[in-house]
Amino acid sequence: MVAKSHRRSGTGRALLHAIETRLKEGGARTVAVQFSDRLPGGSAFAALLVVAGWTTPEPERIRILGRVGRTGDVFRDREGLVQRALRDGLSITSWRDHGGDPRSLILREIEARKAPDWTQIGLFDDTVDPDFSMVLTDRAGKVVGWVICQFHAGVRRWGFPVGWIHEEHQKRGWLLVAYALGAHRIEQLQGPDAIAVFESSSGLPMMWRVLEHRFAPYADHVDRLLASEKHL
């Protein structure tokens, strides 16, 4: 941030150059940034990055924040969605009830290149909530996806930084069902005014559209994280 009285004087550009120089001297080869499209002065910052040789900032994640009690408006057909998914063979198990080690399971799937690297975001944070984090399996017991949920105690908010399902199941709405159940469980245990944040990566365009068109109209806050990078 640059104080208003010192803007348009090259201070921001000098700060950015200093950061790049120190990182390069420390052995870094690439530097990246994420910032909200609701950031005050975000347009000016994006323009500064481009002028400084960074890639044009592009939307990488969408975030939807709201009270879980309002998901009843989003999922008016929740019971039908759930029952159809269960008949199709979906099983959803919380990490607490899993009986195994969900973290190791997720890492094995990623190491086997069955899932992209970004699906481990938040995996090792001590804020992971085992009651609302979920493992998704098919009728044969094969892992087809997962949901990571974090509890941020300072603001009493549940965040879902990762919800992922294998491409062959994306059109079946199974991930949407997992989110619906997660929100419903939070409402049952914490009350309808509990706050949840659902996110999706650009790597799941279908889920992005669902959050944008189905969740956003009932949300208290919606923003997109823009990403840019530069090779040093």
pLDDT along the chain (232 residues), means of 10: 87 94 96 94 93 96 93 77 89 94 94 93 92 95 95 95 90 88 93 94 88 89 96 96
- pLDDT of res. 194: 96
The amino acid at residue 23 is L
Please report the pLDDT score of residue 31 as a whole number: 96
pLDDT at 185: 93
pLDDT of residue 206: 86
What is the per-residue pLDDT for 188? 93
Q: Are 95 and 133 in contact (CB under 8 A)?
A: yes
Instruction: Give the pLDDT confidence score for residue 203 in this predicted structure.
Output: 85
| Cα–Cα distance measured from residue 116 to residue 114, given in angstroms and rounded to the nearest whole number | 7
SS3 110: helix
Question: What is the rounded CA–CA span in Å between residue 46 and residue 40?
Answer: 11
Q: How many CB atoms lie within 10 A of CB 17?
A: 12
Specify burial of residue 154 (Cβ count, 10 A radius: 0-12, 13-18, 19+).
exposed
**pLDDT at position 226, please?**
97
pLDDT computed for residue 35 by the predictor: 96
Instruction: Could you list the beta-strand ranges (E) of 23-116.
Output: 30-36, 58-67, 91-94
Q: What is the DSSP letter of 128?
A: B
pLDDT of 63 reads 94
Question: What pLDDT score does 166 carry?
Answer: 92
